[in-house]
Chains A and B, each alone.
Chain A
Amino acid sequence: MKIFQVALGILTAIGGFVDIGDLVTNGLVGARYGLSLAWATVLGTVGICLYAEMSGRVAAVTGRGTFDLVRERLGPRAGLANLIASFLVTGLTLAAEIGGVALALELATSVNYLLWVPLVAFFLWLLIWRVKFSYLENGAGLLGLALLAFGFALWKLHPDYGSLVHQVVAPHKPGTERLNSYFYYAIALFGAAMTPYEVFFFSSGGVEEKWTRKDLMVERANVLIGFPLGAMLSLSIAACATLVLKPRGIEVSTLGQIGLPVAFAAGKVAIAFLILGFVAATFGAALETGLSCGYSIAQYFGWQWGKFVKPREASRFHLVVLLSLIGAAGLVLTTIDPVKITEYSVVFSAVALPLTYFPILVISNDPDYMGDKKNGRVMNFGATVFLVIIVVASVAAIPLMIWTRAGQ
């Protein structure tokens, strides 16, 4: 039973790792830079492992969600500024995910994506309203495994693996590209791998599922095995784009283009899986971001939150979730291209990251809270190195955005 639980958690973490941000950024960067930026995805994955391990441990030991603790450690004023920034980024990501589901459904049905948006938003709300937390999480994660179609396509392309690995381990900026754009996309990939909502969701999910100290092993296995395997999936998206799109000079601007290598190499069945994977991954992430909008506000103000109680027991939480879904769907319905929303949301994720990373790092060291489960020396060394990286990426992101005109 324990093995089953661990396996399920790992599979969920793999399928749940990829969202619209990873799909778009990896496809776009792979088509333009090959695998020469894969190091940024690897770096972001190590970062999200550290970050999720800390916040999962904090959730299991204290039973408190991320924003509950952010306010305690930063005070109400900085905590509120933090809440506003994180909420806006999460809301933007929610809009991108809803748009992603709609775009994937458009590819499957050729019905315009804008017609899908209200339906998707309603269905999201219905699931959040009615379905048990663990079913939501596991269902979306498992279906998201259909994205393994990218791995299958990569295998069918019979690439020269040596040369791909060489591109990853000895990164080399393509000669025609400018260095500032190269680093701009490095930050985008980093932000796509290390999205703040993943951690709000992960830690709040730990509280929802009533983790205790005993669950720490399971939590660690989920993170330390599941996330790196999920990152392999991200890299296979970039590799497919590198092999098929880059030689043809295709600049990625749509979700359809990102799936073309799979069609080209692996055929109709793989494409069917791929579209299922697109829908599941973005829908799952939309559930997570929608809930995270509610979690963050409710936790800051101390309201009852969570799906472990009846909706009427957590009325303000459910109202925030409902309004966030309406707002995000509204943003997509303005016909702003969801792929563009995604490109900005991953960069703003990188900007907002230190705001929640820092308090979690402090709390996971707090002897009053954590007792013997506080960070060890090795953990703290790694976490401090990442604190510096995250701050540098955050500070550099917006100047680079202006300088490169968002990567042009």
Chain B
Amino acid sequence: MRASDLIGREVRTADDESVGVITDLRCVQDGPVRGTQAALRVDALLVSRHHTGSVLGYDRERQQGPWLIRAVVRRLHRHMQVVPWSDVDSEGPPIRLRRTG
């Protein structure tokens, strides 16, 4: 499995309702030690209606100017959700969640 396989993949609920597409993978560094550091574990999926502008970083929880760009990107991604990896039932495509809409 590659990062590019997951990013952009559609996410659907158990009752086949579309949640959006994966825009990013949130990792936590708490896996088994590899080399000198703990491995990065995929902890959650960031799911939004579309991909545009996500990698600019304005859709995340942080203060980042300028106001105009932040407002536009936040609006594009106002439906963004953080879906825990533990909610994933099957990896698809499309990714199927355990929960219903």
Contacts and interface: CB of A to CB of B under 8 A. Distances in A.
Whether the complex brings A and B within 8 Å at their CB atoms is answered yes
Interface of A: 72-75, 361-362, 365-368, 374-375, 377, 380-381, 383-384, 387
B94 to A, nearest CB: 21
Given A73-B55, A361-B69, A366-B64, 17 more contacts: A73-B56, A73-B57, A75-B55, A361-B66, A362-B56, A362-B57, A362-B69, A365-B64, A367-B64, A368-B57, A374-B65, A375-B65, A380-B65, A380-B67, A383-B66, A384-B68, A384-B69
A385 to B, nearest CB: 10
Contacts of B67: 380, 384
A366 B69 contact: no
Nearest to B64: A365
A97 B65 CA distance: 37
Contacts of B63: 367
Contacts of B57: 73, 362, 366, 368
B55 A380 contact: no
Contacts of B69: 361-362, 384, 387
B2 interface: no
A62 to B, nearest CB: 14
B66 A380 contact: yes
Contact of A367 (B55, B62, B66, B68): B62
Interface in B43-79: 55-57, 62-69
B55 A384 contact: no
A362 B67 CA distance: 11
Interface of B: 55-57, 62-69
B55 A375 contact: no
Q: Which residue of B55, B65, B67 has the most chain A CB atoms within 10 A of its CB atom?
A: B65
Q: Which residue of A365, A374, A380, A384 has the most chain B CB atoms within 10 A of its CB atom?
A: A365
Contact of A375 (B62, B66, B68): B66
Contacts of B65: 365, 374-375, 377, 380
A262 to B, nearest CB: 43
A363 to B, nearest CB: 9
Contacts of A387: 66, 68-69
A381 B69 CA distance: 12
Nearest to A382: B66
A384 B63 CA distance: 16
A72 B68 CA distance: 21
A21 B57 CA distance: 36
A390 to B, nearest CB: 13
Nearest to A381: B66
A383 B67 CA distance: 11
A373 to B, nearest CB: 13
Q: Which residue of A362, A381, A384, A387 has the most chain B CB atoms within 10 A of its CB atom?
A: A362
The 8 closest A-B pairs by CB, nearest first: A380-B66, A380-B65, A384-B66, A365-B65, A384-B68, A75-B55, A365-B64, A362-B56
Nearest to B54: A75
A365 B55 contact: no
Nearest to A77: B51
Contacts of B56: 73, 362
B62 A365 contact: no
12 contacts: A72-B55, A73-B57, A362-B57, A362-B69, A365-B66, A366-B64, A367-B64, A374-B65, A377-B65, A384-B69, A387-B68, A387-B69
A221 B69 CA distance: 29
Contact of A74 (B55, B62, B68): B55
Contacts of A377: 65
Contacts of B55: 72-75
A73 B57 CA distance: 8
Contacts of B66: 361, 365, 375, 380-381, 383-384, 387
Nearest to B68: A384
A377 B68 CA distance: 12
B7 to A, nearest CB: 10
A74 B55 CA distance: 7
Contacts of A380: 65-67
A379 to B, nearest CB: 9
Nearest to B73: A362
